[in-house]
Structure 1
Amino acid sequence: MENIKDFLSMSEEEKIRRIKSLDSKEVIHILTSVGTNALSAELLNQLAVAYNNSIQPEKAMETLDLVKEQERDAKWYYRYGYACAAISLRLQEKKFLYQWKALEMIEKAIIGSKTQEVIDWCLEIMDLRPDLTELAKMNPSSFPRLSAYYLKARPDNEGSEEKEKYKKVSAIEWIFDQKEYLPDAFARDFNMYMAKRYPDDWSEGMADEFVLEEPEILVTYEAWIRSPAQLHDNERLNEEDDLKEENKDNDMWQVEIMAHLKADNGKAFTLQELIFKLQNLMADKELGDHVFLEGMEYEGHECEGNGLINDPDGIPVFYVCCGS
């Protein structure tokens, strides 16, 4: 655990950089030990991120409420909307109120966003939540910017045959950490996470359901690395130029990685197997605060995959969507 005195002696910039390198449990421990009254707006935001990633959306909202109104940016509204959306999954009586609040926050996040990044995060929530999409479709005048970016750009989000075929993996979820698992240990932690996430709907047998009927796939994801040695044998960089010395930031490179995954049975991936393999890919990399798996997006087929495969017919490629 971080020494609190050492943390307090850091500059604000150093504190933020340090917090972004830690897992959610450590972030919550440090920042609650310091006390929310002593935290800047950015550190309050990071505490809220940790609560969201730890499936504690109520605490995330309480923390975000402490940020002064004039300091609430697009990311603040996204995180508040994320928490509202998570709470709505647990409710029946007040479900609509939190769904509506989530859409209001997403709308404000899109309006206030100065980059495409936050807009993409907002659209990922919509991709994962058909109930929110349907509510927004029924009320386009209440959410005009959301309608412009999402409902018009993706009027039928399941249009193509490939999108329909790979629909299940667009909704998979998990929280990545820097722990490399053996299969039995992962099975235990995965089922505990899913049971907590969906207390009324999850059973252990669901972990073994097939979600991707492909014998092998390629996945791409973004991460920070300190050395090419962190790449596994089944991984390649999409751009070797990313490793130029001038591209380093705090002794790390931001890179996009492609990995080749094979199904254990040679036919299809189960839910647990797929997320287990993704977790172990990520375990030795830095993801910053983008540790929340928010599905995978089909991107087409590749024949060579940066030298990982040689298949004239190609195999499917998926982008691993990670949010904060």
Structure 2
Amino acid sequence: MALNRIAWRFTKELYTDSARFNQDVVAHQLAIYQKDNHWEPNTVVFAVPELQVQYMAWVKQPSDLLENETLIDEDKQVFEEEPEEEMHQVEILATLAANDGEKFTVLEFLMKAHNQQANKDLGDHIFFEGTDDTPQIINGLPTYFIACGS
């Protein structure tokens, strides 16, 4: 998996300052690995202007989805099919655009992936374990699955 040597814990905190996010990631690397040599924030990880991430989360209602998110086809009817359920485990596709319109650095990608999930319940799968090495093409965009563990 790509990025699988980066330690990170998804939380409810929404980051607006990439320098602060970078500091928090470095601190997490040091806490887990006692070193931060796997964290190279300015390395280009995806040389595309736009991509999708796919991840699993628990949501209550359609309004829990952000503007740039949709459910995978298999989950699109979950709210109608299981209205009695309080929480729905779903797979979400989120479209992300590179800040410079060309590429994603590791820092930009991880921060955007983190913020995308901040308003969701991830259950006990909150630890970033990487992404696919090779994307699937979904809706015409390279799509990377975000693997999370407990």
**Bin for the TM-score computed over the shorter chain:** 0.7 to 0.9
Q: Is the 2:53–2:146 contact (alpha carbons within 8 Å) kept by the matching residues of 1?
A: yes
Determine helix, strand or coil for the equivalent of 2:8.
strand
* 1:316 matched residue in structure 2: 142
TM-score, with structure 1 as normaliser = 0.42
Q: Does 1:181 align with 2:7?
A: no
Q: Is the 2:26–2:36 contact (alpha carbons within 8 Å) kept by the matching residues of 1?
A: no
Deviations 1:188-240 (A, max 9, x none): 21221123333345387x21221222221111111001121121111011122
| Structure with bigger gyration radius | 1
Distance 1:210 1:203, change over 3 A: same
The number of residues matched between the two structures is 146
**CA–CA distance in 2 between the matches of 1:280 and 1:200?**
25
Q: Is the 2:29–2:35 contact (alpha carbons within 8 Å) kept by the matching residues of 1?
A: no
With a CA cutoff of 8 Å and minimum separation of 6, indicate the structure with the bigger relative contact order. Answer: 2
Determine helix, strand or coil for the equivalent of 2:54.
strand
* 1:244 matched residue in structure 2: 80
TM-score, with structure 2 as normaliser = 0.84
Among candidates 43, 54, 58, match of residue 209 of structure 1: 43
Distance 1:214 1:172, change over 3 A: farther
- Percentage of pairs with the same residue: 34
**CA–CA distance in 2 between the matches of 1:296 and 1:247?**
32
Q: Is the 1:301–1:317 contact (alpha carbons within 8 Å) kept by the matching residues of 2?
A: yes
**CA–CA distance in 1 between the matches of 2:24 and 2:100?**
22
* 1:254 matched residue in structure 2: 89
* 1:124 matched residue in structure 2: none
Determine helix, strand or coil for the equivalent of 1:214.
coil
Q: Which amino acid aligns with 2:52?
A: L
Deviations 1:108-166 (A, max 9, x none): xxxxxxxxxxxxxxxxxxx6xxxxxxxxxxxxxxxxxxxxxxxxxxxxxxxxxxxxxxx
Q: Which amino acid aligns with 1:253?
A: H
Unaligned runs of 5+ in 1: 1-126, 128-167, 305-313
Q: CA RMSD in A?
A: 2.2
Q: Does 1:219 align with 2:41?
A: no
**1:1-324 to 2 correspondences below 5 Å:** 168-183=2-17, 184-202=19-37, 206-238=40-72, 239-244=75-80, 246=82, 248-249=84-85, 251-297=86-132, 298-302=134-138, 304=139, 314-324=140-150
Deviations 1:74-122 (A, max 9, x none): xxxxxxxxxxxxxxxxxxxxxxxxxxxxxxxxxxxxxxxxxxxxxxxxx
**CA–CA distance in 2 between the matches of 1:172 and 1:269?**
16
Determine helix, strand or coil for the equivalent of 2:90.
strand
